[in-house]
Structure 1
Amino acid sequence: MRSPTDADADSRAPVDLVVVALLAVAVAALTVADAPWRGPVRAALAVVGFFLPGYALVAALFPRGPVGDREASPVDIERVHYLDGFTRAVLAGALALVVSPLLGIAADLAGGSITTGPVIGVLVGFTLVACAVAAVRRRRLPPADRYRPGARWAATLRRLVRNPDRETVAGVVVALAVVIAAGGVVSAAVSQPSGEQFSELSIVTASESGQLTAANYPENLTLGEPATVRLGVENHEGQTVEYTVVVVLQRLDGPPRDATVTETATLDRFALTVADGATDRRDVTVQPTMTGKNLRLAYLLYVDAPPDQPTPENADREAHVWVTVEDDTGDATA
């Protein structure tokens, strides 16, 4: 017959796993939240969030508590199943360094991308599944054998409040110092200097095999007939940006270095919204409205609203190709 103590132990929720699961959900929520306080809070959560997958995996692999008076087996090799809190923390950090990159690669191979959203989703999902497995494995053990750090945390806190000894106070101070130091390192790592914020613009074409290549651009066009390229906009601005793209066709006069624009035709203008760390690729089709040789077909990217007269010189990013446009008789004379 089971004792009341065993029944109480059976009914207790694994405090550490509940905390880890809640922190994982908080990290996921902060990733998608759009609030002015998101940056500092996310940096603080990153300190502990880094350890979550590793801690959950250690908890799933080693559900037993540390060796104590209850363990009298002379076989030392079995002691690997009974890890104390310090050993678990070290293993959690080591496994986090291995598991997190592997999960990021798994997100990429699964059809996602190595960006904030998919990677956080995979890390949080792994953490929650590992916590569930750890909870099930602990419950299958006798209550006395389970790893239950909640009781130790409560006992340490009571001892610290009621009768603080030098060893306990020193341990708490060292732990706080490590957390603060880690917070400074992680905050510096996750904060992106303004000089690192940028956007990228690219134009590519699709080969016969469907591969994208920065070559084989359309060079000889016909007046009024469509020409298509694949436009790519990559956002590293640190936030979601609504870009404006303007496509212009320009006639230039003079030597290449000192050429002046004598005529400009706006062929297209559209807006697109790109999330931080994401890339938007789309086919852009234009129809030339002037004929001539060595015309500049320019794709202009603006982070903010474009000026009244968009040019390659005032664009945030610019990419262009040189084309010859003929009329339906084959004449390219302006």
Structure 2
Amino acid sequence: MNRERLWLLLPSPVRNLPADLAAVLALVVLTNLTVFLPVVNDSPVRVVVGLAFVLFVPGYAFIAALFPEEGTSPDAEAAADEAASETNGGDGLQDRGIDGIERTALSFGLSIAIVPLIGLALNFTPFGIRLVPILVSISAFTVIATGVAAQRRWQLPDDERFRVPYRSWLGAGKSELFAPDSTADAALNVLLVLSILLATSSVVYAVAVPQQGEQFTEFYVLTENETGDLVADDYPEELVADQPQSVHVGVGNNEYETVEYTVVVQLQAVEIRERQTPLANQTQVDAQANGTRLVVTDRTELDRFSTTVPHNESDIRNRTLVVDSETATQFSGSDRRVKFLLYRDGVPAQPTADNAYRDLHLWVEVRADDQSNA
């Protein structure tokens, strides 16, 4: 009795809304909840509901508005045409509308056409192609089409309205599952249920636990242009004593786990030597090619910082490169290099390019105060 009273409290259009159109509106509400609720929007439910919403619901609502009447299958239409031809002795052609299979197929096809068109229209508005404007636009289109579909169905005689025969489907399903005609039918029913459960579990697992892709870390150095944008251009070409140079060091984590990174910035003096030349213990071979090798003869640390970056996120920090007068005098010259060394989970006692996880460098000229003022 309480359920009946609550049902009567609803407005008449809501109580009389066809079941399929009510399901469409429910899916619209569910999709918006899975996108905007803080906890649910990070779960696999959002992907499953979102796919069903985008690929089927807008097209179904549009088809429902275009074809509110009950359709007949091609076989039934042929039989009706033949009967009408025999009875009237003339043309037996009639408008059969569309049946459930055609309605479903057209719903998928029109959804695939409608959603990109909505996105194209949003591209020419200040909102742009972003999640919230797209979701709101598709939801609004679906709700309006559903309202038009409901109004057109109510205008038809009751026996001509399209209905989803879900009650007969449920009855037939219960009969097949719980009252099979033979042992073979019962075994087939069990096999069918197990197959559906296995397929559903596989899809849920694939969505909930996606395959891990390639693991890597992005490491880059940027500068700020005149408009304030970060670009990979116009890097500092010289370091003058006590004159800071600004760069932006970025780390992008695609390691499928939260990683603690440390960046070490060194100023290095390098020389190109023949491979036969003996090396001192303090030198480091950085690269070899064409019978020569690039050797680091001296180094000093300019900067160091650590950052913890979650998976699929980036951290870009503005860092200042500056050398004092003593360092500028010691490293004065044109064959100098600012080396950026990236480490995961700790830095060794002697950071070098060989033991770094990633490394970058900028070629610079180092000048002391007396040279810059000359």
TM-score by length of 2: 0.60
Aligned residue-pair number: 305
Q: Does 1:229 align with 2:247?
A: yes
1:53 touches 1:126 (CA, 8 Å); kept in 2?
no
Among 24, 31, 37, which residue is 2:31 paired with?
24
1:202 touches 1:319 (CA, 8 Å); kept in 2?
yes
Aligned to 1:10: 16
Aligned to 1:287: 322
Among 353, 358, 366, which residue is 1:317 paired with?
358
Q: Does 1:60 align with 2:75?
A: no
1:51 touches 1:96 (CA, 8 Å); kept in 2?
no
Aligned to 2:89: none
Aligned to 1:129: 140
Change in 2 beyond 3 A, CA 1:16/1:100: same
Aligned to 1:297: 338
Quote how far apart the aligned CAs of 1:132 are. Answer: 2.1
- Per-residue displacement from partner, 1:52-92 (whole Å, max 9, x unpaired)? 113222133222446347x99x775x93xxx5443344344
1:225 touches 1:288 (CA, 8 Å); kept in 2?
yes
CA–CA separation in structure 2 for the residues paired with 1:128 and 1:15? 14
CA–CA separation in structure 1 for the residues paired with 2:47 and 2:147? 27
Change in 2 beyond 3 A, CA 1:209/1:17: same
| 3-state SS in 2 of match to 1:231 | strand
CA–CA separation in structure 1 for the residues paired with 2:125 and 2:29? 26
- Per-residue displacement from partner, 1:272-322 (whole Å, max 9, x unpaired)? 64662x555554333234322333323344454555655444443332212
CA–CA separation in structure 1 for the residues paired with 2:339 and 2:174? 70
2:71 touches 2:100 (CA, 8 Å); kept in 1?
no
1:54 touches 1:91 (CA, 8 Å); kept in 2?
no
Aligned to 1:193: 212
Aligned to 1:249: 266
- The AA in structure 2 aligned to 1:299 is F
2:255 touches 2:311 (CA, 8 Å); kept in 1?
no
CA–CA separation in structure 2 for the residues paired with 1:263 and 1:60? 69
Aligned to 1:160: 173
| 3-state SS in 2 of match to 1:233 | strand
Identity %: 24
Among 102, 122, 139, which residue is 1:87 paired with?
102
Among 268, 293, 298, which residue is 1:262 paired with?
298
- The AA in structure 1 aligned to 2:323 is P
1:244 touches 1:304 (CA, 8 Å); kept in 2?
yes
Change in 2 beyond 3 A, CA 1:254/1:275: same
CA–CA separation in structure 1 for the residues paired with 2:315 and 2:124? 19
CA–CA separation in structure 1 for the residues paired with 2:223 and 2:108? 45
CA–CA separation in structure 1 for the residues paired with 2:39 and 2:354? 35
Where structure 2 has 5 or more consecutive residues not aligned to the other structure, the ranges are: 1-7, 81-92, 273-285, 288-293
Change in 2 beyond 3 A, CA 1:306/1:220: same
Whichever of the two has the greater Rg, that structure is: 2
Change in 2 beyond 3 A, CA 1:224/1:179: farther
| 3-state SS in 2 of match to 1:67 | coil
Among 323, 328, 331, which residue is 2:369 paired with?
328
- Per-residue displacement from partner, 1:156-185 (whole Å, max 9, x unpaired)? 112210356899x99x959x7699389659
CA–CA separation in structure 2 for the residues paired with 1:298 and 1:109? 45
1:58 touches 1:92 (CA, 8 Å); kept in 2?
yes
CA–CA separation in structure 2 for the residues paired with 1:122 and 1:304? 41
1:231 touches 1:283 (CA, 8 Å); kept in 2?
yes
1:202 touches 1:231 (CA, 8 Å); kept in 2?
yes
Change in 2 beyond 3 A, CA 1:280/1:248: closer
Change in 2 beyond 3 A, CA 1:7/1:324: closer
Where structure 1 has 5 or more consecutive residues not aligned to the other structure, the ranges are: none
Change in 2 beyond 3 A, CA 1:330/1:205: same
